[in-house]
Amino acid sequence: MRALLAGGAGYVGAHTAVALLEAGHEVVLLDDLSNASAAVAERIGRITGKDVSLVSGDATDEGAIAAVFDEHGPFDAIVHLAAFKAVGESTQKPLDYYDNNLNTTFALLRVGMARGIRSFLFSSTGTVYSDPADLPFTEESKTSVDLSNAYSKSKRMNEVVLEDVARVNPDLDVTVLRYFNPVGAHPSGLIGEDPKGVPNNLMPYVQRVAIGELDRVGVFGTDYDTPDGTGLRDYIHVVDLAEGHVAALEKGEPGYTVYNLGTGEPVSVLQLIASFEKAIGRELPKDLLERRAGDVTATYCDPSKAERELGWKAKLTIDDASRDAWKWQSQNPQGFAGV
C-alpha cells in the first residue's frame, strides 16, 4: 500500500510513518511545517532504513495536494492527521480552527477521491464524547457538536462529513480513529513530541520541567473522586497508536467505521508524574493547584472493538511511555530545533 500522510511530519504522523514503513508499506509526507520540522523525514529514514519523501505544502490547498499526487502518486490511501490541535487556543480562535480543520478534510477528500484512493483514515479524538459520566466510552457512546471548544467540535463535524461521504461512495473505506491521550516517543529517541512554545499536554510539560526549561509541574485539582484525588486519563503510547493506524489501513473494508484507540486503563495525573520521576531517577517540583474550568474527573475508553475487528491492542505501559519520552527529551533537549 502507498499512503499519503497529511500532517505526516507531526508527532503522531512521524510515528505512523515509521509503523507503516516497518510493515512494508510506502509513505509520502505532506506537511506545512507550522508545528513540525523538516528534520523528521531524515530521522524516520534513520529508524527504518528507507528514504522518505516530505513535501512542504498546505493540506487545505487542492492544487498542492494534486501536485503531490502528480509527483509521488498514485496513492491507495490518505491518512489525514493535519489539524490545529490546541484546545485552549481553539476557544480563542474558533474561525481559524474551523477553517483549517474542515477545509483540510474537504481538499484531501476531493483530490483523493478524484484520483481513485481506496481508503481515507481520519485522526479524530475521544473528546467528541459528550457525556463525561458514560465511562468507559464505547464507539456507541453519546457524541455531540455541542462541545466546549472549537477543536473538539471541528473533529466531530469532520466525522459527520465523512459518514455522509462514505454513505454515497460505498466502495470507499472511511475509518475514523478516536485517539485518547498520546504520550511517549519512539524507543530510538530519534523522534518524539516537540510542541512549539509552552506545551498544552501533561507529559511534554513534565519533560520540559525535567530538563529545566520550565520551573514546576502544575497539578490542577487534587480533590477529584479518584484514588489519589487527581484526574484520570487514558494515556496511550504513541507507538501503540501508530500501530493502530496500520491495522486500520490493512483492514481495507469499504464503509464507515469508528474505532477508539486507547488502553482502557486510566492513569492519574500524579501517577503519570511518578512514572516519569522513576524514569529520570529524581523528583520534580510540583504545585498543587485548584481545578481548571472544564476539566472532568475521568476520561477513558473501551478499546475492545479495535481488538475484536482489527486485531489491535495497546501493549505498552505508562512506564514505557515515560522511559521513551525521557530518552527523546534528554537526547534532544531543544527538540528538532537542535538538529
Q: Which residue from 69, 70, 73, 96 is spatially nearest to 85, judged by alpha carbons?
A: 96
Q: Which residue from 7, 36, 37 is spatially nearest to 27, judged by alpha carbons?
A: 7
Beta carbons of 47 and 18 less than 8 angstroms apart: yes
Q: Classify burial at 67, counting beta carbons within 10 Å of its beta carbon; exposed 0-12, middle 13-18, buried 19 or more.
A: middle
User: Left (φ > 0), alpha (ψ -120 to 50) or beta: where does 126 sit?
Assistant: alpha
- For residue 97, indicate whether it is catalytic: no
Q: Give pLDDT < 70 ranges for the chain.
A: 339
Distant-in-sequence, close-in-space partners of 96: CB < 8 Å, separation ≥ 6 = 84
Query: CA quadruple 121, 106, 179, 52: dihedral positive or negative?
Result: positive
Rounded Cα distance, 311 and 222, in Å: 37
> Model confidence over 123-182: pLDDT tens digits?
999 999 999 889 999 999 999 999 989 999 999 999 999 999 999 999 999 999 999 999
Residue-by-residue DSSP string for 274-298:
HHHHHHHTS---EEEEPPPTT--SE
Rounded Cα distance, 277 and 115, in Å: 49
The predicted pLDDT at position 197 comes to 87
The predicted pLDDT at position 186 comes to 98
User: Left (φ > 0), alpha (ψ -120 to 50) or beta: where does 264 sit?
Assistant: left
Rounded Cα distance, 210 and 92, in Å: 30
Q: Which residue from 296, 144, 178 is spatially nearest to 230, judged by alpha carbons?
A: 296
H or E segment at 114? helix 94-114
What residues does 137 pair with on adjacent strands? 301
The predicted pLDDT at position 294 comes to 82
The predicted pLDDT at position 13 comes to 98
The predicted pLDDT at position 252 comes to 85
Rounded Cα distance, 90 and 294, in Å: 14
The predicted pLDDT at position 337 comes to 87
Catalytic residue among 11, 97, 129, 151: 151
The predicted pLDDT at position 196 comes to 87
Query: CA quadruple 214, 37, 19, 251: dihedral positive or negative?
Result: positive
